[in-house]
Amino acid sequence: MNGMITVNENYDLDTIIPQLKAYTTGKVVEKVTCREKEILKGDGPKVALLDLGAKRNIARSLNERGCEVTIYPALTPAEEILEANPDGIMLSNGPGDPKECTSIIKEIKKLYDSEVPIFAICLGHQLMALATGGDTHKMKYGHRGGNHPVKDLATGRVYISSQNHGYVVDTDTLDPKVAKPAFVNVNDGTNEGLEYVGKNIFTVQFHPEACPGPQDSSYLFDRFIQMMGGNQ
């Protein structure tokens, strides 16, 4: 559902409704991504961060744990990322409708097909699901704020998380041989994370890098480093 604010008291509803139905967010990721590659030096695992509109604290959270982080523009070919031989790949958060990112989804499928460990957040989580045959849909009420409870389905533990999304992965469309739900939103039951079967890949809808915000799930960065063979 789209909406519009107007100061025109004499608006024509028959004209406006088709415009609202036809509106899309467009390729907003291409507008917010970095323009060139950037490297944050570190002595630990080498992480390739695909910037889909990344919050700076994603790179900082990895770099503070010793990782050397190479930040790539969103339209970087998968081949270029893999040729650098990273120890792990990070798919960042970002804006807009994930289905608009058609070319990026194709590149993410190539990253999925590699054997490199992958951790994805928010939009990156949604794009990985789309790249592997899943679907997403727009929520009636998006999740905004820093107090959303999410449940780890493996342990039963609940974490308070920061969230800012209007689209969600539709778990009914997932192939159980490809991915399985890992986190669920306690309030409305929507998906909050996936683990990929037979792959060193996990993704979350919420923001473990939130700053300011709850730090409950920041341990996921340590988990990612362990996946890459690190010591955290």
Q: Would you state the pLDDT for residue 24?
A: 75
Domain span at 209: 29-227
* Active site annotation includes 148: no
Average of pLDDT values for 119-131? 98
* Active site annotation includes 143: no
pLDDT for 45-77, tens place per residue?
A: 999 999 999 999 999 999 999 999 999 999 999
| 142 belongs to a structural domain | yes
With a pLDDT cut of 90, the percent of the chain lying above it is 82
In angstroms, the CA 92 to CA 218 distance is: 15
* Active site annotation includes 38: no
Tokens standing for 127?
A: 């794009």
Q: What is the pTM of this model?
A: 0.90
Who's near 33: CB < 8 A, 6+ residues apart? 51, 52, 53, 73, 74, 75, 94
| 7 belongs to a structural domain | no
Indicate the SS3 state at residue 54: coil
**Which residue from 91, 23, 102 is spatially nearest to 58, judged by alpha carbons?**
91
149-150-154 Cα angle (round to 5): 145
Into how many domains does the chain fold?
1
Q: Would you state the pLDDT for residue 232?
A: 45
Q: How confident is the model at residue 200 (pLDDT cuts 50, 70, 90)?
A: very high
At 162, which CATH number? 3.40.50.880
Who's near 219: CB < 8 A, 6+ residues apart? 208
Catalytic residue among 122, 125, 143, 192: 122
Residue 11: pLDDT above 90? Answer: no
